[in-house]
Structure 1
Amino acid sequence: MPTEARAFSRRIWTWARVAGGAAILAVLVWRVGTGPLVDGLRQTTGWSLAAAFAITSLTTLCCAWRWRLVAGGLGVEMPLRTAVAAYYRSQFLNATLPGGVMGDVHRAVRHGREVGDLGRSLRAVAWERSSGFAVQIVLTVGVLFLLSWPAGSFVPPAAVTVAVLAGVVAVLLCLKGHRLASRIGRVFTSDLRDAILAPRAWPRILLASTVAVLGHAAVFLIAVRATGADLSPARLLPLALVVLTASAVPTNIAGWGPREGAAAWAFSSIGLGAPLGVTVAVVYGVLALVATLPGAVVLAVARQTRQMPLNS
């Protein structure tokens, strides 16, 4: 495919993701009005911001450690301090730019230029995010089945999600006899073996991903408390995991869209009402954005460092 055609396709896909998030928000405003959105902004408090900031520092450390483990398995190692700073920066960009993935792309490209291997760096970020999402899916489905009452209405869509993922894996395995002799197939299996399923890597990746998911769920619970809703953690945990899983869909406007739509559906499905779900999602969005502000500091420092030789 010509370069111009590829660039045009990427632009179309980018605008399609943004349009998807805008459509979800428009439908929500049409159905529940702007009241829940305004309530979410008003009910964000100082203690909730401080708690979210502290918890996100732990989840960021875990995610950066996971990225370092995967990158090390692919031969593009980095210090943990560098990984944490880069991860904060990517989270801030994901929370402020359309699509929700531009920060990860920036993280991969910047690391690739630093180590002189863009391909491995791109694959490291892709595997790191994929492994984390896979653990999140497994945890979500497990909680939905274990806490059967609040999760009852979520089991069918969750089962569909797992079935789709299993289908993708099955297709990849079926390709073994046909295309795994190709370069892409060899790279895929090699990365999976060396970076994800290596005996020294996968338990740590699992631990880091689990702590990160539970940390994000804790921030969601804080958002619920900030709205004044009095619900038990056992009832809220399935809601949190479902909404967080939907938030990973890269069809949003700086993180907004699927999260609010999923929250409205999830809360209304168990009789709590769509307006409360939207309000909680807005509070969570504000908490998540503020918690990534160290990434803005990393960006500012990096920019200042690049400009220093020019001003000397």
Structure 2
Amino acid sequence: MAAMTTGFAETGTRERTRTRRLAFARTRWFRLTTQLVLGGGVLVAVVARVGTKPFVHGLLSLDARSIGGAVLLCAVATGASAWRWQFIAGRLGVGLPWTTAVALYYRSQFLNSVLPGGVLGDADRAVTHGRSVDSIGRASRAIVIERSVGQAVQVALALVVLAFFGREFEGIVLAVVGAGLAVLVVPGITAAAASARVRRALRHERDELRAGLGTAAGFIGVAFASAVVVACHVAILAIATNAVGAHVPPDQLVPVALVVLLAASIPFNVGGWGPREGAAGWAFAVAGLGASAGVAASTLYGVLTLISLAPGAIVFMTHRKEESS
């Protein structure tokens, strides 16, 4: 009996320890620390591989012409993203004017670019919009759908382009994307097969997605806006690549750029830095363009993007002043 009691006590202790560990792993502090460590680790690895000269070269390649082109392209991309958000939010009953959507989207992009993880700006956008319409839940849902569709279109475009023009990347990228989908899909299918509650939750998510996108015409419009966003960022990276002196034909640059942008969407980064530079060095090297050129182009791309998001900083500071007054 004493041994049995001791066994129950030990089991209870292990369960409590496991629960505390899971709770700690879900904390914002743990997630941010993980993102900083992983993103910073990638940067350290890139510096160890190519040195600091490519980063310096990218910074010194900044000029007025590159800034002007990047600002214009970023404005088009932000306008398209804001329209995508406005459309989906309107379908979900929490619509907002396009000009307001543009301002808030600029602000969220700015916050994403200076804060770790790359998603805190979207969380701020959801809360700000949700409070204005008295429905943070619906506002958050609109942003989740909007960002998810944008990511899906980006991945689809990358896979199509790589299939025709990026055979040197196709095997690795397809393997990575396949593994990522497996990590997301397989557990979901397994859980749905075992739990009626999970099946109800998945049906609810499906219905919300249908409600947000509406008809086939609505989906086509949202997909087209997402394609415009991707094209603008590919063009900004092309500007950066040309500015650092790496003259690459479009049919070679576009697949490289899409690989870099896929890596840039990985949330484990330091203000956008980390996986993007690692992927740029690797992709440029595989394409025969040199890892240093890729890191320099990625560095300049990051700087150009940050400059182009200056309106977001202005919106952020204006909002802070209004809150404090």
TM-score (norm 1): 0.91
Which residue is equivalent to 1:68? 86
Cα deviations by residue, 1:151-170 (Å, 9 ceiling, x for unpaired): 12210122224434654456
- Structure 1 CA distance, aligned partners of 2:186 and 2:89? 26
Contact 1:264 1:273 in 2 (8 A): yes
Aligned-residue Cα RMSD (Å) equals 2.1
Aligned AA (1:99): G
Contact 2:24 2:30 in 1 (8 A): no
Number of equivalences: 304
| 2:303 aligned with 1:286 | yes
Which residue is equivalent to 2:169? 154
Aligned AA (1:234): D
Structure 1: gaps (5+ residues) = none
| 2:224 aligned with 1:215 | no
- Structure 1 CA distance, aligned partners of 2:236 and 2:225? 17
| 2:134 aligned with 1:116 | yes
Aligned AA (2:155): I
- Structure 1 SS opposite 2:94: coil
| 2:252 aligned with 1:235 | yes
Comparing 296-305 and 233-242, the one that deviates more: 296-305
| 2:196 aligned with 1:191 | no
| 2:316 aligned with 1:305 | no
- Structure 2 CA distance, aligned partners of 1:84 and 1:161? 33
Q: Which residues in structure 2 correspond to 1:35-114 (within 5 Å)?
A: 35-114=53-132
Aligned AA (2:272): G
- Structure 2 CA distance, aligned partners of 1:190 and 1:45? 48
Measure how far apart 1:96 and its partner are: 0.9
- Structure 2 CA distance, aligned partners of 1:161 and 1:262? 13
Closer, same or farther: CA 53–280 of 1 in aligned 2, 3 Å: same
Cα deviations by residue, 1:282-310 (Å, 9 ceiling, x for unpaired): 01000110000000111122223334xx4
- Structure 2 CA distance, aligned partners of 1:180 and 1:205? 30
Contact 2:256 2:287 in 1 (8 A): no
Measure how far apart 1:6 and its partner are: 6.2
Cα deviations by residue, 1:37-71 (Å, 9 ceiling, x for unpaired): 11110011110011000010000000111111221
Cα deviations by residue, 1:12-40 (Å, 9 ceiling, x for unpaired): 11110111110001011111111111111
- Structure 2 SS opposite 1:201: helix
Aligned AA (2:205): F
Measure how far apart 1:180 and its partner are: 5.9
Closer, same or farther: CA 80–179 of 1 in aligned 2, 3 Å: farther
Which residue is equivalent to 1:265? 282
Structure 2: gaps (5+ residues) = 1-18
Measure how far apart 1:92 and its partner are: 0.5
Aligned AA (2:143): V
Runs of 4+ in 1 over 6 A off after TM superposition: none
- Structure 1 CA distance, aligned partners of 2:229 and 2:218? 16
Identity level (%): 41
- Structure 2 SS opposite 1:245: helix
Aligned AA (2:97): P
Flag the structure with larger Rg: 2
| 2:273 aligned with 1:256 | yes
Cα deviations by residue, 1:151-199 (Å, 9 ceiling, x for unpaired): 1221012222443465445664662784367653343021121113533
